[in-house]
Structure 1
Amino acid sequence: MFISYVLAKFRTYLRYRETVRELSKLTDRELDDLGITRFQIENVARVHSA
C-alpha cells in the first residue's frame, strides 16, 4: 500500500514537471492564446497533474 502511494505521488510529480516544461517552451503570445501568463505556469501544471 505504501509503495503504491509513493509511486502515485512520483507519477503526479512527473506529470507536473512535464507540463511545466512544455508550457515553458511556449512563447508569451502562445500562452496568451491559452489564456495564461508565464507566472501562472506552475499553478496550471499543479492543477493539471492533480
Structure 2
Amino acid sequence: MATVATTSYNAISFADRIRVAFADFKAARALRAKYAATVRELSDLSDRDLSDLGISRYDIHYLAREHVYGA
C-alpha cells in the first residue's frame, strides 16, 4: 500500500510582508510617541506636583515605559 504525503503551507507574498513590516513600524512609532508624550507631561510637572503623586523625577522614565509598553 502506498501513501502520499503532501505538505501545504500558506505562502505570504513579498508585498504582504512589506505591509506587515510597515504596519509594525507604524505601531512601534505610535507607542514611541505615546512614551515621549508621557515623559514630557510628567517632566513638565513641578517637584511638588510629582511629590503629591508619589513620583520622583528619577522614576519618570520607568513609569512612562511601564504605562506605555506594560513592561
Q: TM-score, normalised by structure 2?
A: 0.67
Bigger Rg, which one: 2
Structure 2 runs not aligned, ≥5 long: 1-19
| Aligned with 2:63 (options 23, 37, 44) | 44
**Aligned-residue CA RMSD (Å):** 0.7
The alignment status of 1:25 with 2:44, answered yes or no, reads: yes
Higher relative contact order (CA closer than 8 Å, sequence separation 6+): 1
Residue 41 of structure 1 aligns to which amino acid in structure 2? I
Q: Which runs of 4+ in 1 moved over 4 A?
A: none
Structure with the largest fraction of helix: 1
* Identity score, percent: 42
